């Protein structure tokens, strides 16, 4: 056996081992990511959604705006509240304020 054929055999064997190693690394990495994602997603706290009845009486709720301009609609009976982002919150707040203004001014 001469040096060149030994070099070719070694190169061929190393290519096969490298291909196997890369394939194994991809499979192991995918399985690891899948398991990690499953564990992470199961630890996320799932917040229960609160169902709001379509007809809400103004005397049963309070409306507030926090420092991030998010609106809080607070149920006076239970103390539970919903938070809306600033754009939605400002529309709801303006409607609520308009109703209170109309009630106070007698319009």
Please report the beta strands in 21-103, taking only residues with DSSP state E, as ranges in sequence order: 61-65, 71-75, 81-84
Q: Which two tokens stand for residue 14?
A: 């190393």
CA distance 31 to 12: 29
pLDDT, one tens digit per residue, over 22-64 is 999 999 999 999 888 888 877 766 666 666 555 566 677 887 8
Q: Read off the pTM.
A: 0.36
CA distance 20 to 24: 6
């Amino acid at each position: 056996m001469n040096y060149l054929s030994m070099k070719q055999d070694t190169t061929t064997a190393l290519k096969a081992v490298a291909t196997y190693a890369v394939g194994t690394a991809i499979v192991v990495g995918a399985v690891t990511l899948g398991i990690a994602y499953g564990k992470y997603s199961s630890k996320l706290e799932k917040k229960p959604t609160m169902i709001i009845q379509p007809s809400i009486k103004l005397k049963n709720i309070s409306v507030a705006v926090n420092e991030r301009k998010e609106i809080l609609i607070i149920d006076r009976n239970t103390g539970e509240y919903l938070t809306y982002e600033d754009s939605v919150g400002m529309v709801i707040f303006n409607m609520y304020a308009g109703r209170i203004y109309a009630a106070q001014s007698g319009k």
